[in-house]
Structure 1
Amino acid sequence: MGLEKIKKVSNNEILPLTISKQESRLYMSFIYVAIISLLIGGLMGLLQTLVRSNTITLPWGIGYYQILTLHGVVLALVLTTYFIIGFQFALMGKTVGISLKQRKVAWLSFWVMIVGTVMAAITILMGKASVLYTFYAPLKAHPVFYIGLALVIVGSWIAGFVNWHQLFVWKKKHPGEKSPLLAFMVAINMAMWFIASLGVAVAVLVQFIPWSLGYAETINVLVSRTLFWYFGHPLVYFWLLPAYMAWYAIIPKIIGGKIFSDSLARLSFILFLFFSIPVGFHHQLTEPGIDPVWKFIQVVLTFMVIIPSLMTAFSMFATFEITGRRKGFGGLFGWLKHLPWKDVRFLAPFIGMLAFIPGGAGGIINASHQMNAVVHNTIWVTGHFHLTVATTVILTFFGISYWLIPHLTGRKLTPQLNRLGIIQTIVWTVGMTIMSGAMHIQGLLGGPRRSAFSEYGGTEQASNWIGYQLAQAIGGSILFIGIILMLYIFIKLAFFAPKGIEEFPIAEEEEDAEPTPMFLENWKLWIAITLALILFAYTIPFVDIIQNSPPGSPPFSWPIGN
């Protein structure tokens, strides 16, 4: 359906568009790759927990770091990126529309990403790229791995350009009007992604590819890590903001309520754009070569991101309470009773919200210099990662899938599949609680991350960790059952559920909410502030890093032995 089919209902409401079959095929293509990635990456994760607990030995010469790399790349990069882009394309198609030309370019983004994904996956499977998803130098992968990563990034940029053009065309047709909230959020997320991924793109193109091809004998390790973490921390918010989109604008519709404040939602996304990128040094607090003053400045900027997170929590629980009291539920917590606990579209994201409370607390610890020294490079960090991404984000993505997939495939979420989805959500929550909890505790006891049992088995410390490693194996096994359940539900919703019309739930704003100030859509200002913060946080320390490379080494070079 073209952009001309958008209908204006009132000053504050835009009638959602109908998604055509051609659009659905595009959006589902991204989601198909995501669900396949869930199965492959989940299996690799299960094998890791079994190896770490000394339950199994990998056969056929498969290396531990080979499956560790595959697990990280496939789940943290492939699954998330494909699902997010597919979901965001669906949001844009529903709210501002997509033209035939835009759809063709969107298909180009998909195929560029597919080619890059296949290239990277083949090198990992062949054992030529066991460098983990962070691909830290001086670990070196086959050039095809880095070229594949570059293509995935370029493909995602193409998708971002399509999203921006969709919003640009809509605004030309609706001068002086605020853009649909979800379209605004998608544009913010892709702007953040583009600015952040420039760092890893530079590292791959300027450093890693020439080095892996043999054109450069050395590589500056600190520069490469700095460029990665310039990208690596906003990557977390690239995963998180689509979940926030669902929390702000979709969950209220599912519970029978309305958006608490359009202005607050937009402001929180703008603040995420400001404070998610210039903070990468808090991942490098133990690394030499970076001035402690700049580490401190970026830690302060890191803590600023707590503000939009608290704004989101306030907005969500305000929506829950207002909706409950409007339905007649009184008392201090009586409004909790109205929440649709038996609706998996709500239950899965709600548990994800709850998981973000301890996940956010762990993030504060990781970003705090003294406390980070206790847990740095321990399996605590892995446990934190699984609370935030693998629980908060993934459970919300699961909750989205229960209505998005049948909507796109023209089928219905049946009561039976809804009940099975609730079971899947509970299984996932139990498995992740056991596994992540054991990781946190073992990390406090000094258990290392990224390590196989064979590397520390038989040591005195290993005897203190074995119980927690077995708990991780049990939790991982339960999680894999959850993955099988999700795969079954996906296949049913995509191919076998009864034909019908499933709602695409988009909430309206509260009638008495304050009007959204138009300055919130001053894109030039927000991008300028973001770039200014980045230049402030990175220019001087980055120049210092390059100027103080090892003696005799040219810029962007570091002897591999150091």
Structure 2
Amino acid sequence: MELEALERYKQDNRLPLSITKRESRLYMSYMYVAFIALFVGGLMGLLQVFVRSGHFQLPWGIDYYQVLTVHGVILALVLTTFFIIGFQYALMGKTVGISERQRRVSWLAFWTMTTGTILTAVTIMLGKASVLYTFYAPLKAHPAFYIGLALVIIGSWIAGFVNWHQLYTWKQKHRGEKAPLLAFMVTINMIMWFIASLGVAATVLIQFIPWSLGYAETINVLVSRTLFWYFGHPLVYFWLLPAYMAWYAIIPKIIGGKIFSDSLARLSFVLFLFFSIPVGFHHQLTEPGIDPTWKFVQVVLTFMVIVPSLMTAFSMFATFEITGRRKGFGGLFGWFKHLPWKDVRFLAPFLGMVAFIPGGAGGIINASHQLNSIVHNTIWVTGHFHLTVATTVILTFFGVAYWLIPHLTGRRLTESINRLGIIQTIVWAVGMLIMSGSMHIQGLLGAPRRSAYSDYGGTAQAAEWGWYQMAQAVGGAILFIGIGLMVYIFIKLAFFAPKGDEEFPIAEEEEEAPATPMWLENWKLWIAITAALILFAYTIPFMDIIQHSPPGSPPFDWPIGNS
């Protein structure tokens, strides 16, 4: 009873809540799956770069595209989704609390997602679903692959409903108060995820499952690709926004500072909600069947997302400078030199921030009409994804894991583990610099993506590309060492580190910052604007796609060589 009274006192006074052992088991379950996925997916990535080097063949008749599918699905979908949902549950539990009923429903979400993951993984491992993580038609997988994907999506929706109900319950007890910043951010991210994943759920349930079961003879490929990329681009921001949560609200605490502006942080997330969904056509710029005018409209909307990205960069470096100068570090860059470089909780996310500078520039190139035609379908795009997702996002997730895992398991981040974490971070950054850099250069030379070395080994360009293939193999090997180190650190923090209390760092806002206006929590307005932008960007072109589809839409009547 005393513990319950203490938690009520914390909630009434806006203090971080305690995470119980039952909650920790729930949150850690998501982390276990995420780090298993990291090891499996990383191993598949290592095999890929070895094959592409031209000096290694897969044993036992394993197909290259089977390995490529495992790598993409396990890392881009399973690792990210499980880590994000586990992390967001922890943020919500710490800021607004979780009831017993909400916790039980959260387990339902976990087991639904896990069942779907197992179904999907088994079909890929058996060679029944070598369709890559984009699973474009006319490539057809076993029905269990699509059913598994649908279960993963449904499980994530259940998790989103729990998060929304957590905030709703908190608001009922704190009428007229602004929601905690991290709870606000989680809510935005799950709204975006739910709206975006309606597209991939529609194409899987209405098109792919009936087609794979034999109930439909044909599939409209352009419809399926349009629905996928309606989902595929905001998927990138579903990965990225949890990293932004850590940057905005957790990193300031780690460096001994405060949040620069609560209002700016919330506004940037609202803008991400607006401009991350109605932009899928910029992944389809080379495809026929879509009016160029609507492609242009969506490219313009794509560039709008630069605004909240620059707001985030400004906010973070303002926090760094204010904190450093407050500690007495003068000069033009004195504050920069005295950031806590020896704290892996800061170093890993900071290197992720740095990687997002060239990653964001590459994204502008990919979304541009003329420049996209140069790099489209080359391995440049693969290098871009490895800069954004596999460096910016994953390094930030690693930085979160260094304090979140011991906090949940009742252990401590020791000096020795911190040093090993710094080594792991540097290894990862070096490996990714070599691998992603060589991918970008090779892409500019015209090397295709999604192709094994043997597919073009006899061409005149193969010799020129060969050096970059070898560099990718070297970078991939270094990255796999980084994966091994991270899995070891995870196991150490989860089971063997000394018992203790690790801080759950949540920063406070600067005292001088202007008060956050309540209109920033006008959820009905934000959702209505998002829906209006989506309808504006998709209604007419989607009607055109349906109206002008060829009779019967046979699957091989459409080009399939696009992103």
Instruction: Tell me if structure 2 keeps the 8 A contact 1:438–1:472.
Output: yes
Q: CA deviation at 1:338?
A: 2.3
In the other structure, the counterpart of 2:310 is 310
1:48 match = 48
Report the Cα distance in structure 1 between the residues aligned to 2:85 and 2:108, rounded to whole angstroms: 13
* 1:152-231 pair list within 5 angstroms: 152-231=152-231
Number of residues paired by the alignment? 556
Measured at CA, do residues 4 and 188 of structure 1 come closer, stay the same or move farther in structure 2, by a change above 3 Å? farther
Question: Structure 1 132/39 Cα, relative in aligned 2: closer, same or farther at 3 Å?
Answer: same
In the TM superposition, residue 495 of structure 1 has moved relative to its aligned partner by 0.2
Question: Following TM superposition, by how much is the alpha carbon of 1:332 offset from its aligned partner in structure 2, in angstroms?
Answer: 1.1
- Whichever residue aligns with residue 311 of structure 1, its letter is M
Q: What amino acid does structure 1 have at the position aligned with 2:7?
A: K
Contact in 2 for aligned 1:3/1:170 (Cα 8 Å): no
Query: Is 1:346 aligned to residue 346 of structure 2?
Result: yes
SS of match in other structure, 1:146:
helix
Gaps of 5+ in 2: 559-563
Aligned 8 A contact 2:137 2:555 in 1? no
> What's 1:483 paired with?
483
> 2-side partners of 1:64 and 1:234: how far apart?
28
- In the other structure, the counterpart of 1:560 is 556
2:59 alignment partner, SS class: coil
Quick check: 2:285–2:295 contact (8 Å CA) kept in 1? yes
Residue type matched to 1:496 in 2? F
The aligned counterpart of 2:518 is: 518
Query: TM-score when scaled to structure 1?
Result: 0.98
Residue 461 of structure 1 deviates from its aligned partner by: 1.1
Letter in 2 for 1:560: F
Give 3-state SS (helix, strand or coil) of 1:294's partner: helix
Task: Report the Cα distance in structure 2 between the residues aligned to 1:185 and 1:416, rounded to whole angstroms.
Answer: 33
Counterpart in 1 of 2:418?
Answer: 418
Distance in 1, Cα, partners of 2:270 & 2:165:
19
- Deviation of 1:390 after TM superposition, in Å, equals 0.1
Classify 1:135/1:499 alpha carbon distance in 2 versus 1 (closer, same or farther; 3 Å).
same
Please give the alpha-carbon distance, in whole angstroms, between the structure 2 residues aligned to 1:243 and 1:144: 32
What CA distance in whole angstroms lies between the structure 1 residues aligned with 2:376 and 2:158?
36
In the alignment, the residues of structure 1 paired with residue 512 and residue 429 of structure 2 have an alpha-carbon distance, to the nearest angstrom, of 37
How far apart are 1:8 and its partner, in Å?
5.7
Tell me how large the CA RMSD over aligned residues is: 1.2
Q: Secondary structure at the match of 1:7?
A: helix
Amino acid at match of 1:7: Y
Distance in 2, matches of 1:378 and 1:440, equals 9
Query: CA distance change for structure 1 residues 514 and 497 in 2, over 3 Å: closer, same or farther?
Result: same
In 1, distance between residues paired with 2:10 and 2:535? 41
- What's 2:456 paired with? 456
1:36 aligns with: 36
Structure 1 residue 388, shift from structure 2 partner: 0.1
How do residues 38-437 of structure 1 correspond to structure 2 at under 5 angstroms? 38-437=38-437
Residue identity matched to 1:160: G
Residues of 2 paired with 1:55 and 1:170: CA distance? 58
Asked if 1:7 is matched to 2:9, the reply is yes
Instruction: Give how far 1:319 is off.
Output: 0.1
CA distance in 2, matches of 1:146, 1:233: 20
- Give the secondary-structure state (helix, strand or coil) at the position aligned to 1:133: coil
Task: Say whether the 8 Å CA contact 1:6–1:96 is kept in structure 2.
Answer: no
Unmatched 5+ stretches in structure 1: none
Q: Supply the distance in 2 between the matched residues of 1:477 and 1:288 (Cα, whole angstroms).
A: 39
Partner of 2:22: 22
Change (3 A) 1:3 1:466: farther
CA distances 1:111-157 after superposition (whole Å, capped 9, x unpaired):
00011000000000000000000000000000000000000000000
In the alignment, the residues of structure 1 paired with residue 468 and residue 502 of structure 2 have an alpha-carbon distance, to the nearest angstrom, of 43
Tell me if the contact between 2:248 and 2:316 (Cα under 8 Å) persists in the aligned partners: yes
TM-aligned CA deviation for residue 558 of structure 1: 3.5
Query: What amino acid does structure 1 have at the position aligned with 2:207?
Result: Q
Q: How much has 1:4 moved relative to structure 2?
A: 9.2
| Counterpart Cα distance in 1 of 2:408 and 2:6 | 21
Q: Which residue of the partner structure matches residue 561 of structure 2?
A: none
Contact 1:44–1:70 (Cα < 8 Å) also in 2: yes
Distance 1:220 1:70 in 2: 26
In the TM superposition, what is the alpha-carbon distance from 1:14 to its structure 2 partner? 1.6
CA distance in 2, matches of 1:99, 1:177: 20
TM-score by length of 2: 0.98
Distance change (3 Å), C-alpha of 1:2 and 1:450: farther
- String of CA shifts for 1:167-210, please: whole Å, max 9, x gaps: 00000000000000000000000000000000000000000000
Equivalent AA in structure 2 for residue 70 of structure 1: V
Residues 56-98 of structure 1: per-residue CA shift (max 9 Å, x gap): 1001110000000000000000000000000000000000000
What aligned pairs does 1:467-482 form with structure 2 within 5 A after superposition? 467-482=467-482
The answer to whether the 8 A contact 2:260-2:513 is kept is yes
CA–CA distance in structure 1, aligned partners of residues 484 and 532 of structure 2: 46
Match of 1:440 in 2: 440
| Cα distance in structure 2, aligned partners of 1:3 and 1:351 | 42
**Quick check: 1:549–1:558 contact (8 Å CA) kept in 2?**
no
Offset at 1:39? 0.3
Q: Secondary structure at the match of 1:460?
A: coil
- Aligned 8 A contact 2:11 2:96 in 1: no
